Structure 1
Amino acid sequence: MSEDTSTLREETTEREGLALRTRIRNNPRPFLMWAVPMSILIAVEFGTYAGIVLGALDALVLGVTGLLDVLVGLVSASAEQMIVDVQNTLVSTLRGAGGFTDNIITLFSRDVIPNQGYQTGPNSGWNGTFLGLPPAYAWALRFSLIIAYSLFTAYWTFRGWLVYRKHYREADWTPTDNIIENLRDHQWGQFGIVVLVLFLTMAVFGPALGPTTVERNIQSSYEYTIQYYSEEDGSVQTTYVGQANFGSKSKGGSQNVGPMSYDDYGRFHPFGTIPNGRDLFTFMMGGARITMIVTGIAIIGAAIIAALLSMFSAYYGGSVDLAVLTTADGVVSVPQLLLLIMVSAVFANHWLGQILDGGMLLALVFAFTTWPFLWRAVRGPALQVAQEEWILAAKSYGQTPRKIMRKHMFPYILGYLLVYASMSAGGIIISLSALSFLGNGLGISAPTPAWGRAISLGQDYVSGPSWHISLLPGLMIVLLVTGLNALGDGIRDAIDPETVGDEGEEAAAGGGG
């Protein structure tokens, strides 16, 4: 045994049974070397992160209290009113805090690096933009800095896990270690990770990534004004954003603002505009946020249910396994589209259906209809690990079922769960986009951006100069779904490297079936 291995084993033995705080206090240097840079990374964008957290809490409070309101209202009107009062108090507090965080200036905000400005003459410089740069250059600078910041933050977060594994984790080894080490050499899986990080960046930093914001350009366009140089009058004019949008429509022919171009009001459009003149890139960033939120809620909810039920059914077996199997078969028999239509119709005028602009109900339906597929995928590994010697040894030593499931079974099935969850997430994204494409009260409610609605708006112009309206959103959906499938493939190969190649193709075909 080498000296490094012996030293690491001694450190691991010393950490066993100690609380994480104690372990860090006994050896603070590695933690501080990671935590100080991480604190700086969080601090420069604290307002963004705080807004995301408060928004998620707001949606969670509305969703949970909304469900309780519906259920309790069937029994007691007084209890229902009490739930509503609690909801109003919590929501008011969260939105008050959200208003405070909205005023916090972040490093990469459009207040620090503005890209919207105007000229005073046909060949003059730009006023109001960062360092007087043309709007396209100012936007590209902010966009590049945010992407670089996001990728580095993702790397540094992973670096924190490495520090924890080496210096502070109780266990010397877990099944996750081999998966991550194999994944670090898997280029296709790494492609999936990069794609996922980029789309998460769009969801988190969407208001700063776009040349404008959803509120200014889409939701409240007649509450904001812009200045621009008018060639007809030879002077600087002021107009409402909505009026400028009216003059910047993309409807084919000569009425078109294509990708990487300016409109007549000096506004730069990286992806061009849509038929009502709104900026397509901003529309896509807003759609990325609601898509990732709804998909995240759905797949996390489905994964939690599947993991819990798979461990319960594998640990106890017998009638418990049969009951879960029967329940899963019953859920699978319910047509997903029919259930989505029914839920949308029932809660069309209920405030519960307005949470996340209808996204919360969609997420709950997707979670409810997805968990049986994840459960079936991880039930086999759960049954296998339940029969291992270390599980039987843990039972003989008197460990509780809850501890056995958490410490011995869950780490083993986690990799398999991630494989099928990432692939199922792609299906949810496609379904969500399809609902928004169909419209008629389905999908995300307007005017909140939705990728499927953008494709629907541009379907009449695919063969003309306004091809970008449908094509670019479609390519983004394909890229995200491909990235998630690549991530699933990478995790699958990392779990069992022998499946790479021909055997991997056979395994993939079997899993897809």
Structure 2
Amino acid sequence: MDTKDKNSEHASPGLAASDSATMPVEGAGVAQPAEGSAIPADGKQPKKSGTPFQESLRRLRRDVRAMVSIGFLLFFIILPIVGPPIYRNIGPEMVTSMGDHVTSQVYRDPFHQELDNQDQGPSAYYWLGTDSIGRDLFSRLMQGMLISLVVAIVVEIVTVFLGIFFGVMAGYFGGWIDQILARFTDIMFAFPGLLFAILLTGIFGSSADTTFSSIPLIGQNGNARLVLVSIALALVQWPFIARLVRGQALQLREQQFVEAARSTGTTNFQIIKRHIIPNLIAIIIVQVSLDLGGIIIGEAGLSFLGLGVQPPGSSIGLMISDAQNLVDTHPWEVLLPSIVLTIIVLAFSFLGDGLRDAFDPRSKD
């Protein structure tokens, strides 16, 4: 046998032992990088990238204006729901000029009038004062915020449903549906939406008071016209979402995953349900957040003009209308609902901008 072979044969066990000595022990609790992968300088494994939706949420959380807006909106949503029953049960008992004892459940009712306490400033009885006929401003403000938010949510639900339905039908199928939608949206864009709502509520407002006045909750306390106001605002808003959805559906129907689904025999309904509509959720959320502020302004504007909520009901626009003649003597009664309306609208606007930046792939930093 060759001397070189003998030497290498004797050296093999030692070499194998040396190699095994330098290998880490399996199960030692330290994750080993894959073969050929680079080891970071700090020894930490790189973080896994999240889904596009998770990345969008991260960008939204970094937007200070959007986060502050969410905080304000949560406050203005929770306050009119939780606030009234608490506020009306924690006030002291009031003794009127006639010697009557009135509990906080009575004088803090948004529709109760205390003519001895007209245009009062903030006090232990009325935290934000009273209006010109002695009604609690804080109670009426919470009632007005609740009215505005309910109308905005109802209108947006109807708007999104109609917008998605007609937009997807027009964008995916085209044909006569697309032509009708295009002509209708052209008419709505040419005719001012708010003017259309004023015209509709102005013509049928009195009929709505008679027709809906007997409906519980809706028709009581001057709220009968809210049904008509909601219909008018929904008719004004839904063509805008339908046009946006139509444009996205036109792009999505040409994508490869839709073509692949179609080639496997998937029905059009299943394609729309599984592939088209889920890919529209992000832009719908952004558009809804931007529209809500406009709907609240629309409802407040109609109530301010006397076409929405009627006395003794409460709405932010109606509160501004009732106090507009008191700007010189009692400006607080006008400023209070105006400030609240401004904050709510700005919060929805800033949130919409933040959502648009977060869900738009081109805005990645």
Same fold (TM over 0.5): yes
Matches within 5 A, 1:149-228: 176-211=53-88, 227-228=93-94
How far the C-alpha of 1:352 sits from its partner, in A, is 6.6
Letter in 2 for 1:336: A
Who is 1:341 aligned against? 202
How far the C-alpha of 1:424 sits from its partner, in A, is 1.7
Who is 1:238 aligned against? 101
Who is 2:304 aligned against? 437
Task: Check the 8 A contact 1:437/1:455 in 2, yes or no.
Answer: yes
Alpha-carbon distance between aligned partners in 2 of 1:181 and 1:400, rounded to the nearest angstrom = 36
Could you list the per-position Cα deviations for residues 415-450 of structure 1 after superposition, in whole angstroms to 9, with x for gaps in the alignment?
A: 2122222222211111211121122xx101222211
Q: Does 1:416 align with 2:286?
A: no
Do the aligned partners of residues 206 and 239 (structure 1) sit closer, same or farther apart at CA in structure 2, a change above 3 Å counting?
closer
Alpha-carbon distance between aligned partners in 2 of 1:175 and 1:376, rounded to the nearest angstrom = 25
Who is 1:372 aligned against? 239
How far the C-alpha of 1:246 sits from its partner, in A, is 1.2
How far the C-alpha of 1:338 sits from its partner, in A, is 0.9
Task: Check the 8 A contact 2:171/2:248 in 1, yes or no.
Answer: no
Aligned-pair identity (%)? 29
Task: Check the 8 A contact 1:415/1:495 in 2, yes or no.
Answer: yes
How far the C-alpha of 1:461 sits from its partner, in A, is 2.1
Letter in 2 for 1:238: H
Q: 1:461 aligns with which of 311, 323, 326?
A: 326
Alpha-carbon distance between aligned partners in 1 of 2:83 and 2:116, rounded to the nearest angstrom = 25
Do the aligned partners of residues 228 and 339 (structure 1) sit closer, same or farther apart at CA in structure 2, a change above 3 Å counting?
closer
Does the residue aligned with 1:348 lie in a helix, a strand or coil? helix
Task: Point out the structure with max Rg over C-alpha.
Answer: 2
Matches within 5 A, 1:115-154: none
Higher RCO, Cα 8 Å, sep 6+: 2
Q: What TM-score, normalized by structure 1, do the two folds share?
A: 0.54
Does the residue aligned with 1:273 lie in a helix, a strand or coil? coil
Who is 1:300 aligned against? 157
Who is 1:258 aligned against? 121
Could you list the per-position Cα deviations for residues 372-416 of structure 1 after superposition, in whole angstroms to 9, with x for gaps in the alignment?
A: 112223332222222111111111122222222222112222221
Do the aligned partners of residues 353 and 180 (structure 1) sit closer, same or farther apart at CA in structure 2, a change above 3 Å counting?
farther
Alpha-carbon distance between aligned partners in 2 of 1:303 and 1:203, rounded to the nearest angstrom = 25
Task: Check the 8 A contact 1:174/1:411 in 2, yes or no.
Answer: no
Do the aligned partners of residues 372 and 389 (structure 1) sit closer, same or farther apart at CA in structure 2, a change above 3 Å counting?
same
**173-182 or 292-301: bigger deviation:** 173-182
Alpha-carbon distance between aligned partners in 1 of 2:237 and 2:300, rounded to the nearest angstrom = 17
How far the C-alpha of 1:314 sits from its partner, in A, is 1.5
Who is 1:397 aligned against? 264
Q: What is the root-mean-square deviation in Å for CA atoms of aligned residues?
A: 3.0
| Number of positions where the alignment pairs a residue of Structure 1 with one of Structure 2 | 302
Alpha-carbon distance between aligned partners in 1 of 2:270 and 2:85, rounded to the nearest angstrom = 44
Compare the two structures and name the one with the higher helix fraction. 1
Alpha-carbon distance between aligned partners in 2 of 1:352 and 1:404, rounded to the nearest angstrom = 44
Could you list the per-position Cα deviations for residues 194-230 of structure 1 after superposition, in whole angstroms to 9, with x for gaps in the alignment?
A: 22222221342242353469xxx9xxxxxxxx84468
Q: What TM-score, normalized by structure 2, do the two folds share?
A: 0.74
Unaligned stretches of 5+ residues in structure 2: 1-30, 32-49
